[in-house]
Amino acid sequence: MSGGSSDANGNSGANGTPVPWWRKPTVVAIASGAVVTAIGGWLQQGGVSAISSLFSDDESNKPVVHAKTKDTDMCGYWRIHKDAVVVATDLKMRLAGHPSHPAYSKILADGRKATGSDLLTGSTVEVTVEGTNGKAVILTGLDVQVTKREPFNEDVISVGTGCGGGVEERYYSVDLDEPTPHFKLSETDENGQPIAKAVDFPYKVSANDPEVFILSGGALRGAIHWKAVLRWVADGKEGSSEISNGGKPFLSYPVDVPNYWFDTNGDELHLYPSG
């Protein structure tokens, strides 16, 4: 009768073939126990940290970057697709009976959308950078990425009165018409006033010592859609962070197009040529 057999100690396999010593149950059990013991000792001596370092991407060391356009419906520039007088008349009707300044923001936002106007977001971008976990981060540079160029044939209207605020900021401008544009440290602020201490990269930031940058994208030939990339070093490792308008590119416009100013301060709202 064919078939497997084994002795009393389980030392033979199918057809009576002897089982190698290293495959015997007792030996396998001893070896497995030794491996478990070795791994347990290694884990107790810091193996967990070693494993964590292999799979960690050091996200906790990245600087926190907040970007927002300083161009808002209340204090900003609109690209208008209708005649400027038509847009101003619509806004004046919407603001009638609302003397309170806090209410203007939503009213103007509704008016911009209703008139088909676009908010230009790339003329002044405020970027705040700070470190995390109490560790300092070295900021090493800024790059610009042009994502789209398009013709610009519309007028621009400046909306608002008494806009702006004062904190210590680093001003960088970029000529988006250049084939390979680069950010350059500016020695004047957004109002053309000289900056006392214009210090260029690198900068050091921490959770208690942030940096505030003002990025200004200007162009003469068409509208430019762009993003920025902040380069940094954290805990000895290089990295970068994208600077965008909530994931979308910023929009800059030709600085020499006809501009108008819609004054929201006063009993009557007027439309003025900027020039």
Mean per-residue pLDDT, 72-97: 86
Average pLDDT over the chain reads 75
Q: What is the pLDDT of residue 164?
A: 55
Sequence-distant (6+) residues with CB within 8 A of 184 are 172, 173, 174
Residue 163 lies in a domain: yes
Mean per-residue pLDDT, 176-197: 79
Domain check: are 48 and 124 in the same one? Answer: no
Mean per-residue pLDDT, 166-191: 80
Domain check: are 97 and 145 in the same one? Answer: yes
Residue 1 lies in a domain: no
Domain check: are 22 and 119 in the same one? Answer: no
Check pLDDT > 50 for residue 44.
no
Q: What is the pLDDT of residue 229?
A: 95
What is the residue type of 96? A
Sequence-distant (6+) residues with CB within 8 A of 109 are 73
Identify the domain containing residue 38 by its residue range.
14-55
- The enclosing H or E element of 140 equals strand 137-150
Residue 129 lies in a domain: yes
| Cα distance from N-terminal residue to C-terminal residue, the chain | 110
Residue 252 lies in a domain: yes
Domain check: are 191 and 159 in the same one? Answer: yes
- Report the candidate in 200, 201, 198, 199 with the shortest Cα–Cα distance to residue 232: 201
Domain check: are 70 and 50 in the same one? Answer: no
Domain check: are 211 and 133 in the same one? Answer: yes
Mean per-residue pLDDT, 16-41: 44
As a whole number of angstroms, the distance between CA 256 and CA 259 comes to: 8
Mean per-residue pLDDT, 72-94: 87
Check pLDDT > 70 for residue 255.
no
Two tokens, residue 163: 């806009």
Q: How many domains are contained in the chain?
A: 2
Check the CA dihedral 58-132-216-170 and report its sign.
Answer: negative
Residue 5 lies in a domain: no
Q: How confident is the model at residue 14 (pLDDT cuts 50, 70, 90)?
A: low
Domain check: are 43 and 78 in the same one? Answer: no
What SS3 class is residue 170?
A: strand
- Give per-residue pLDDT as tens, 189-246: 766 777 666 677 888 888 888 889 989 888 888 889 999 999 999 988 999 999 999 9
Domain check: are 147 and 37 in the same one? Answer: no
Mean per-residue pLDDT, 132-146: 89
Check pLDDT > 60 for residue 275.
no
Check pLDDT > 70 for residue 36.
no
Domain check: are 85 and 138 in the same one? Answer: yes
As a whole number of angstroms, the distance between CA 262 and CA 92 comes to: 9
Q: What is the pLDDT of residue 243?
A: 95
Place of tokens 């910023």: 250
Give 40 or 109, the one with higher predicted confidence: 109
Residue 158 lies in a domain: yes
Mean per-residue pLDDT, 96-124: 84
Integer CA distances (angstroms), 120 to 34, 106, 141, 211, in order: 68, 17, 25, 24
What is the residue type of 117? S
Percent of the chain at pLDDT above 90? 20
In this prediction the pTM is 0.66
- Give per-residue pLDDT as tens, 46-71: 443 333 333 345 566 789 999 988 88
Domain check: are 51 and 85 in the same one? Answer: no
Percent of the chain at pLDDT above 70? 66
Q: What is the pLDDT of residue 56?
A: 43
Check pLDDT > 70 for residue 93.
yes
Residue 8 lies in a domain: no
What SS3 class is residue 150?
A: strand
Q: What is the pLDDT of residue 264?
A: 77
Beta-bridged to residue 5, according to DSSP, are none
Do the Cβ atoms of 212 and 67 come closer than 8 Å?
no
Q: What is the pLDDT of residue 172?
A: 87
Domain check: are 24 and 151 in the same one? Answer: no
Domain check: are 110 and 190 in the same one? Answer: yes
Q: What is the pLDDT of residue 114?
A: 94
Residue 69 lies in a domain: yes
